[in-house]
Amino acid sequence: MCGLGFIAEINGNPSHDLVDKGLEILKRLAHRGAAGSDPESGDGAGILLQIPHAFFQHELERRIEKELPLPGDYGVIQCFLSRDKARCQKQMRIVESVVRYHNQIVIGWRDVPVDPSVLGPLANGSRPTMKQLFVARVAPVQHFERTLFMIRKRAGRLVLQQAPDEDFYIASCSSKTIVYKGLALPEKLAAFYGDLADPNVRTSIAVVHSRFSTNTFPTWQRAHPYRLIAHNGEINTLRGNQTWMGAREALLESPAFAEHIADFKPIIRPGGSDSASLDNVVDFLVASGRPLPHVMMMLVPEAWSAQVEMSRDKRAFYEYHAALVEPWDGPAALVFSDGNLVGATLDRNGLRPAKYVVTKSGLVVMASELGVLDFEPEDVLEKGRLNPGKMLLVDVAKKTIVTDDEIKREMASRQPYETWVEENKIDLASLPTLPKTPMPKEERETLERAFGYSRELVRVVLGPMATKGEEPTGSMGNDTALAVLSDRPQPLFRYFKQQFAQVTNPPIDPIREELVMSLTSCVGGEGNLLGETPRQCRMLELPHPILTNDDMTRLDTSGLPDFRVARVASLFEASGGEEALSAGLEELCAAAIAAVSEGASIVVISDRGVTKERAAIPSLLACSAVHHALIRAGKRMRCGIVVESAEPREVTDVALLIGFGAGAVNPYLAMEIASELGSEKNYVKALKKGLLKILAKMGISALSSYQGAQIFEAIGISEGVIERYFPGTASRLSGIGLGEIAREALLRHSGAYAEGVYAWRAEGERHAWSPDAIAKLQRAVRAEDSESYEEFAKIVNEGPHVNLRSLWDLQSSRPPVPIDQVEPANVIVRRFATGAMSFGSISKEAHENLAIAMNRIGGKSNSGEGGEDAERYGTDRRSAIKQVASARFGVTTHYLASADELQIKIAQGAKPGEGGQLPGHKVDEVIARVRHATPGVTLISPPPHHDIYSIEDLAQLVFDLKCVNPRARVSVKLVSESGVGTVAAGVVKAHADSVHVAGHDGGTGASPLSSIHHAGTPWELGLAETQQVLVSSGLRSRARVQIDGQLKTGRDVAFAALLGAEEFGFATAPLIASGCVMMRKCHLNTCPVGIATQDPVLRARFRGTPEHVVRYFFYVAEELRAIMAGLGFRTVDEMVGRTQHIVPKAIQGEGLGAEKARALDFGDVLQAPDEDQPLRCTTKAAQLQPSELDERILDEARLSLKYREPTTMRVSVTNADRAIGARLAGEIARVYGELGLPDGTITIEATGTAGQSFGAFAAKGMLVVLEGDANDYVGKGLSGGIIAALPPRRSKFRACDNVIVGNTVLYGATSGKAFFAGRAGERFAVRNSGATVVVEGVGDHACEYMTGGTVVVLGSAGRNFAAGMSGGVAYVFDPSNELALNEATELERAPLDAEDVEIVRGLVEEHVQYTRSTRGAALLADFATAQRRFVRVVPLEYKRALAKKQASESAPPAFGGSETA
């Protein structure tokens, strides 16, 4: 999350100038970091330097009269010590004693001079004492760093035992590097640490970092750089990485560490952030003797699976190491240095920016942004960016830059990895199998009952999987009871919800970006991580973790003498209860441990053999219990775990088993059923697809890192069970214990085997929206029948327990107030909003009906992500909230400028972490026009916003939107999950005015069933967490909180307000008021009431009126008023956050549901608030200061704005000038609407390196010319303006080989033109729907999801070109036929025809005219030859749609035209 960078002097000559330059980089990245409620306390900043020997020599002589040995012969321990004096002394003594224990010499302590006055109160309050200990070397020089490492580890351990303290921390301990870091603002770091200003402090390497904390609270220790790395990103697989590392500890052995290895455990220090944990491992592996680049390659490998071009030895390197260690996955830009080497690497996705400049004078600067240092143009040798998975290294000792190829070739040739892999990996498919016999029908049916397979499950879920190889789709969200509230026995799986990425890291598109994904699973025993032998990759290598019943036979009969498979029975006595289950688990774990002790390489946890007397242990419980028992026994890494069970059937089930440790799963009963319904092959295919999706929504690429990562949240399982069997799992609501789990398992089991009872049959679950509830509500709003509303509210409020709030009561010690003193309903309804439903997913009639109703009552309707017809702007049919979602459909400058609130949709309740798809048959003429698309062509929404890969990116988008429309509030929509509070805090720190927390159960559109049901948590949990975090971090007053998720009644609103929300979103209920009958057929376009359909016949059936919706909201408000009067509140504001008025109900009755409900402990959720802190938003919308420069531009354009007079202005820009031109663009759109001004009315000539979002939303009439270069998001949302970028006149490098604009350029552009004389980064023109562009080369994933416009690439294009492109046309200069198109997209690749030639030539001419491009000029010089080297790429679906259109209109095709918008 953050800004990071390094600077190195290649020749290794240390200078103080380099320190200053490093600090300058830090300053220029300040906008990427954050500050909390205390604006003077940063989230953390720091710098890593080479040991400044001259400085220390002088200092020590002067201050403590000690002499230092020669450089390299001493180390410096940079200590954070206790604020308490006595304890500080004690800690110092311990550190000294450890130095002596390791036989080195203590030279002496030096106080680090600091100036606390530059810190904010929060930072100063937690400021540790800072001292440096100097240690003279006794150890041989090649072992000295390792000895210092051992000293640091032992000191840490002993302090923890003898003088523990939250302050104590060793920032660095090395003879080569030193780290200065802390909670100072980046620009204040040098003022705080006086040392940094001393001219004697000289270095040839500086690594800097400015932090934006989202996943943990900021502390002094958590500032970067760590000892070896600094990190921008987030490791999603942390839990798994920590667990596996812990498990490996038992097997670690190294002569280098000898008996000291005990001092290092745990390798990963508990309580550290993801980055700190990664540093711990890097640090440990480097100390053990592996070179730093080797370690980075094994921990953060690039994508190497089958579809990637790669040399054999490099692939073998990765394949070998895949058996040793799972990737640390998640977005990461990493900078690392050991004092001689400094380098950077990107993870396989490369979603974090890393840009570099090499100068003729011998400097290498790498940073998150370009322009962090100014260089004379003629001094620049090369400008570039790091590609996904690649590494850049500077070796100052050898005085050289090492390229990715060179480093990796060297590492790959360290050992004969290829031979090792070939000789040891086991390929299951090559093993023999026996002919398969299907399970007898009777047995199958008994098992179906025993494992709770309902007919509905078989029909709705397994059917489509087995026949079509697809996960089924549904719509209208989930209104069934949580598992823990259900009366029916639930599989244990249902108590766990998938987690997903929001804001802090981007989800991945596993279909369009499949090349980074991998389901490869290695199953078997690992060796000693510190060793490097062929034997370590003796494993079963599976292409995916699903084993068919045939595969199981292969395993059983493999007969490999050194690879034994042992089965352990996962059963328990059916006549018992809790004790029997507990005993069964004990037995199971003991058997597994014994099997491993006897040499098993694979343990199969099997519930085959269920009988009347012996029931199956829930497979998830069995798997996790064995996994953790083996870890505790120190035997986990000696074996792989396979689960063979009849229980798992849905994708989530398999994902859960893998997430809790299994390396492969054999769902044998589901396999049998699948062969019966369709085919096993289809079923496996569906599972694979689903697994990829689940990984991707968390932003994880590799199954091996997902394994054991426990990326799930438990809802309603007791702390005891979690601690014992699922340690480390997120759980905010404690509930059922082993007793209830046993009871549920046995209820199913006995149903299958009991005699004389009706056949046990799973019947429908309870739904919150019963026919009765719908009927009453519709009657109420149509017949104006308040009694009918009351009956509706009664059904909802007093009905069966389907959600957490139905287990709560309201209470108050306040005196009631007369109802006429409670604020009136027409005031309350202004807090109501309707949910984001796109025009496209619902009909024009239904969409506008909601808008009119909300405008009438002063509430807000939400446009959804499909844009809004411009003719609605300014009328009573407009939506006050305009959504900005990942696809940016119809997000024009005009759209943005006409909103009251701009909502950035990060995730949606029905399918968090996933993109959507609007099928072609729903895209009619009007929808296509509003979305800037082609009728009949499917529209794909990317899973992430391609301009939000991190929290600082979100801050940037908030900034962009505020620039383009300063009058609008900006809100950010999140989905409830564990950890949402921390994300919400980040959102508020990013200056959003409102945080929206959506519950998991909402959702109106179509989504995969597994996402509807198994991802996200109830809003009650998310809201409670959000409120608690915002209040405790002092941020609550700065933003409003809105929630949604199946709100239906005034009582629901009361609970939401008391838990901390001040605004309330409703989606399903107002739709029902408008006539929706919950057909759940939204995805089929057959909505019989004319809502979720574009079919004109069905739309004519729409009977809703605004009055219906208005009445509904007034009924809700009146119900709320009565509740408020009873509780003694006059206004909603008084209620917000008063959690103490909510009490858990005493649950009456018997039965499974009641029993489980009674087990729930709401203590955490209903924590009483800290009344001293503001509990609600008390400030107006946060006014963000737009940049001075942008204001000046607006000012200079006044005349043009008023009189349409031409204006030309010149400005100079730096990377701190962000969203240049957006302010002006917004004004043009506000005044002149979509049409804007005549082309070229306002010309802005800029020079320098522009900050992010340069030219964002540039409107028609603007011409923005940049001489220099620009960072990411150039021309974001371009709306008719023209942008050109060209290198400085004096620069000497070849423009077409160098990067001129960053990543994700022209994202969501709808019209306009752009010309770039140089290369662009990744995802060029992603989601372009109408702009015309010329560029001289692009990175990976260019033209992704493009739906319109024209892109001309005059140089090479990276991998995965045109993924998900469904419209527009791309022309690529591809002389050697290298262009790699995305394979999952249907594209036509053709030579240019005569018309194309004219189009391309015309555009290249225009390009040369705007940018003086030498490349363009060269092509034009012999265009006759050049034109033959171009290829045209057009999506087939688009071509067909155009042909169809042409046939019906007999008009010429639109593509190729310069402005298709």
Partner 1 sequence: MTHPRGFLQIGKKKERERDPQERARDWLEITLPGSSDEVREQATRCMDCGVPFCHRGCPLGNLIPEWNELVSEGRVEDAAVRLAATNNFPEITGRVCPAPCEASCVLALEEQSVTIKTIERTIADAELVRGLVPRPSPHRTGKSVAVVGSGPAGLAAAQELARSGHDVTVFERDDRIGGLLRYGIPDFKLDKTSLDARLAQMRDEGVVFRARTSPSKDDLAPFDAIILAIGARRPRDLAVPGRELAGVHFAMEYLEQQNRAVAGDPVEAQIVATGKRVVVIGGGDTGSDCVGTAIRQGAKSIVQLEIMARPGDARGAKNPWPEWPLVLRTSSSHEEAAATGALGREFAIATSGFVGEGSVRALAATRLDTKEDIEIPCDLVLLAMGFVGPEPDLATSLGCELDARGNVRVGADQRTSVENVFSAGDASRGQSLVVWAIADGRRAATAVHALICSKR
DSSP notation for 1250-1283: E-TTTTTTPBTTEEEEEEEEE-TTTTTT-EEEEE
**Minimum CB–partner distance for residue 1122 and partner 1 (Å):** 25
Closest CA to 622 of 650, 595, 648: 648
Beta strands per DSSP E along 874-937: 881-884, 901-905, 917-918
Closer residue to partner 1 (CB): 112 or 1079: 1079
CB of 775 to partner 1, least distance (A): 5
The single residue among 466, 1024, 1078, 1300 that binds partner 1, judged by CB under 8 A, is 1078
Residue closer to partner 1 (CB basis): 924 or 1095: 1095
Of the candidate spans 117-125, 192-200, 780-788, 1367-1375, the one that interacts with partner 1 by CB under 8 A turns out to be 780-788
| 758 scored as a contact of partner 1 (CB under 8 A) | yes
Shortest distance, position 1103 Cβ to partner 1, whole Å: 8
- Judged by CB under 8 A, which of 90, 1080, 1099, 1440 binds partner 1? 1080
CB distance 1222 to 1231 below 8 Å: no
1148 in contact with partner 1 (CB under 8 A): no
Cβ atoms within 10 Å, residue 605: 27
Of the listed pieces 393-401, 732-740, 777-785, 998-1006, which binds partner 1 according to CB under 8 A? 777-785
Rounded distance, CA 936 to CA 1202, Å? Answer: 41
**Interaction of residue 125 with partner 1, rule CB under 8 A:** no
Tokens of 419: 């031979």
Q: Pick from 179, 297, 987, 1089: which binds partner 1 (CB under 8 A)?
A: 1089
Closest Cα to residue 1332, out of 1283, 1397, 1382, 1393? 1283
Q: Does 612 bind partner 1 (CB under 8 A)?
A: no
For partner 1, the binding residues in 1090-1119 under the rule CB under 8 A are: 1095, 1097-1098, 1101
- Find the shortest distance in angstroms from Cβ 456 to partner 1: 9
Q: Report if residue 755 touches partner 1, rule: CB under 8 A.
A: yes
Q: Which of residues 797-826 bind partner 1 (CB under 8 A)?
A: none
Q: Choose one: 44-52, 1002-1010, 1060-1068, 1083-1091; the region binding partner 1 (CB under 8 A).
A: 1083-1091
Nearer to partner 1, 773 or 1123 (CB): 773
Q: Report the nearest approach of partner 1 to the CB of residue 768 (Å).
A: 10
Q: Does 1168 bind partner 1 (CB under 8 A)?
A: no
Which span sits near partner 1 by CB under 8 A: 124-132, 222-230, 669-677, 773-781?
773-781
Q: Which of 132, 241, 337, 475 binds partner 1 (CB under 8 A)?
A: 475
Q: How far apart (Å, rounded) are the C-alpha atoms in residues 1253 and 1027?
A: 32
Binding residue (CB under 8 A) for partner 1 from 121, 270, 561, 756: 756
Is residue 774 involved in binding partner 1 (CB under 8 A)? yes
DSSP for 804-853, written as a single string: GGGGEEE--SSPP--GGGSPPHHHHGGGEEE----BTTB-HHHHHHHHHH
Q: Which of 570, 778, 834, 1304 binds partner 1 (CB under 8 A)?
A: 778
589 is catalytic: no
Q: Which of residues 437-466 bind partner 1 (CB under 8 A)?
A: 455, 459
Span from 248-256, 497-505, 1077-1085, 1427-1435 in contact with partner 1 (CB under 8 A): 1077-1085
- Give the closest residue to 1141 by CA, choosing from 1205, 1215, 1059: 1059
Is the Cβ of residue 1084 or residue 1380 nearer to partner 1 in the bound state? 1084
3-class SS of residue 662: coil
> Which range of residues in 41-49, 674-682, 976-984, 1088-1096 is near partner 1 by CB under 8 A?
1088-1096
Using the CB atoms, write b or e for 74-112: b if 16+ within 10 Å: bbbbbbbbbeeeebbebbbebbbebbeebebebbbbbeb
Q: Pick from 1072, 1153, 1064: which is nearest to 773 by CA?
A: 1072
Half-sphere CA count of 423, side-chain side, radius 13 A: 9
Choice from 771, 824, 874, 1238 touching partner 1 (CB under 8 A): 771
- Binding flag, residue 770, partner 1 (CB under 8 A): yes
Selected binder of partner 1 within 375, 496, 725, 769 (CB under 8 A)? 769
Exactly one of 158, 775, 1147, 1159 binds partner 1 (CB under 8 A); that residue is 775
Contact window for partner 1 (CB under 8 A) among 322-330, 601-609, 1089-1097, 1308-1316: 1089-1097
Report the run of H or E that residue 1123 belongs to, with start and end: helix 1106-1127
According to the binding rule CB under 8 A, does residue 1084 interact with partner 1?
yes
Q: Which of 410, 373, 406 is nearest to 392 (CA)?
A: 406
Query: With contact defined as beta carbons under 8 Å apart, do 1158 and 734 qualify?
Result: no
Query: Which one-letter amino acid corresponds to residue 1142?
Result: I
Residue with Cβ nearer partner 1 (62 or 761):
761
Any contact of residue 141 with partner 1 (CB under 8 A)?
no
CA 720 to CA 671: how far, in whole Å? 34
User: Would you call 44 exposed, middle or buried from its count of C-beta atoms within 10 A (0-12, 13-18, 19+)?
Assistant: buried
Encoded tokens for 1121: 């008023």
3-state SS, residue 767: strand
Pick between residue 918 and residue 988 the one whose CB is nearest to partner 1.
918
Counting contacts by CB under 8 A, is residue 1397 touching partner 1?
A: no
Nearer to partner 1, 17 or 1155 (CB): 1155
**Cα 1341 to Cα 1361: distance, rounded to the nearest angstrom:** 5
Q: How far is the CB of 1081 from partner 1 (least distance, A)?
A: 7
Q: Is 1081 in the site for partner 1 (CB under 8 A)?
A: yes
String marking each residue 706-745 x if it binds partner 1 according to CB under 8 A: ----------------------------------------
Find the part of the chain contacting partner 1 (CB under 8 A) among 152-160, 382-390, 930-938, 1071-1079: 1071-1079
When asked if residue 271 is in the footprint of partner 1 (CB under 8 A), the reply is no
449 token code pair: 């009952």
- Token pair recorded at residue 782: 């149509």
Q: How many CB atoms lie within 10 A of CB 1070?
A: 30
Residues 154 and 144 sit within 8 Å (Cβ to Cβ): no
* Residue 476 interacts with partner 1 (CB under 8 A): yes or no: yes
Structure tokens at 1215: 């990377």
Which residue, 156 or 452, has its beta carbon nearer to partner 1? 452
Kindly tell me the sign of the dihedral angle through the C-alpha atoms of 1132, 1133, 1135, 1137.
positive
User: If residue 982 lies in a helix (H) or strand (E), which one and from where to where?
Assistant: helix 980-989
For residue 468, give every residue at least 6 positions away whose Cβ sits within 8 Å of its Cβ, in sequence order, or none. 678, 682, 686
Question: Based on CB atoms, which residue is closest to partner 1, 1089 or 1132?
Answer: 1089
Pairing of strands 1242-1250, 1207-1213: parallel
# residues contacting partner 1 (CB under 8 A): 34
> For residues 1035 and 983, is the Cβ–Cβ distance under 8 A?
no
Of 779, 830, 1429, 1445, which one interacts with partner 1 (CB under 8 A)? 779
Closer of 93 and 1103 to partner 1 (Cβ): 1103
Q: Tell me which stretch binds partner 1 (CB under 8 A): 11-19, 365-373, 1027-1035, 1073-1081.
A: 1073-1081
What is the three-class DSSP state of 451? coil
Does position 1079 interact with partner 1 (CB under 8 A)? The reply is yes
Residue 1337 CA to residue 1318 CA, distance in Å, equals 7
Q: Out of 2, 173, 522, 1343, which one is annotated catalytic? A: 2
Dist. CA 462–CA 591, nearest whole Å? 33
Which residues are known catalytic residues? 2
**Sites of contact with partner 1 (CB under 8 A):** 455, 459, 475-476, 755-758, 761, 767, 769-772, 774-775, 778-779, 782-783, 785, 1077-1081, 1084, 1086, 1088-1089, 1095, 1097-1098, 1101
